[in-house]
Amino acid sequence: MKLFIKFDFNTICKKVLETKLEELDIKYKILAFGEVELLERVPSETYETLNNALNEYGIEIVENQKSILVQKIKDAIIEMVFNEEATVNVKSSVYLSEKLEHSYGYLSNLFSEVTYTSIENFIIIQKIEYTKQLLLTTDLSLTEIAFKLNYSSVAHLSTQFKNATGITPSAFQRIISKRRSIAQQKN
């Protein structure tokens, strides 16, 4: 039997953080997505244990100031793209500048310097991943998804999807449908 699962990255990450911090009896306060304030001094052995435990889940403690800001940029982009309540109808450059209180030029240069890719490419990748998730887990049409992700047209979304994945969203849907029907036939 095959299960198709919908999940929220933010909720999963927060739950893992809470669980590991509580297991190690570390007093903390979650400030925002990707930001935790430790409310007491943590012995180096405990800190290392926490770091290793989080690494098992692909969660990394960021200590370099540039890397911290880049992680905040990534978190803000993910929050912007995966926003369930409503679409963010402001330009991403304005959104990031206001949220992170830095000029977009500075954020863009820093992001490129640290990640070797542009903020725009990272946004496109996140939008395509969210499109895949929506195609897999909802009955939204491509038009509805394009609107939700603030694309100017379905054609623009389809072009970016094909450039990122090598196939069109329609082909992606057909492949998923075919896999599901094969899986159902096996059961």
- Encode pLDDT of 127-176 as tens digits: 999 999 998 888 888 999 998 888 889 999 999 999 999 999 989 988 88
pLDDT at 11: 81
Residue 108: pLDDT over 80: yes
Asked if residue 107 is part of any domain, the answer here is no
Asked if residue 47 is part of any domain, the answer here is yes
H/E segment holding residue 10: helix 9-23
Q: Distance (Å, rounded) from C-alpha 121 to C-alpha 131?
A: 15
- Quick one: average pLDDT of 117-123? 94
More confident residue, 92 or 160: 160
Q: Distance (Å, rounded) from C-alpha 177 to C-alpha 173?
A: 6
Sign of CA dihedral 178, 168, 130, 163: positive
- Quick one: average pLDDT of 90-117? 90
User: Tens digits of per-residue pLDDT, 63-77?
Assistant: 778 888 998 999 999
Asked if residue 114 is part of any domain, the answer here is no
Q: Which one, of 77, 93, 174, 58, lies nearest residue 130 by Cα?
A: 77
Average pLDDT, the chain: 86
Asked if residue 13 is part of any domain, the answer here is yes
pLDDT at 167: 92
Asked if residue 8 is part of any domain, the answer here is yes
Confidence class of residue 62 from pLDDT cuts 50, 70 and 90? confident
Asked if residue 24 is part of any domain, the answer here is yes
User: Tens digits of per-residue pLDDT, 2-17?
Assistant: 777 777 777 888 888 8
Asked if residue 39 is part of any domain, the answer here is yes
Q: Give the range of the structural domain holding residue 21, as residue numbers without chain letter.
A: 1-61
Q: Distance (Å, rounded) from C-alpha 123 to C-alpha 156?
A: 14
**How many distinct structural domains can be found in the chain?**
1
pLDDT at 181: 81
User: The tokens 């890397």 sit on which residue?
Assistant: 67
Asked if residue 10 is part of any domain, the answer here is yes
Residue 1: pLDDT over 70: no
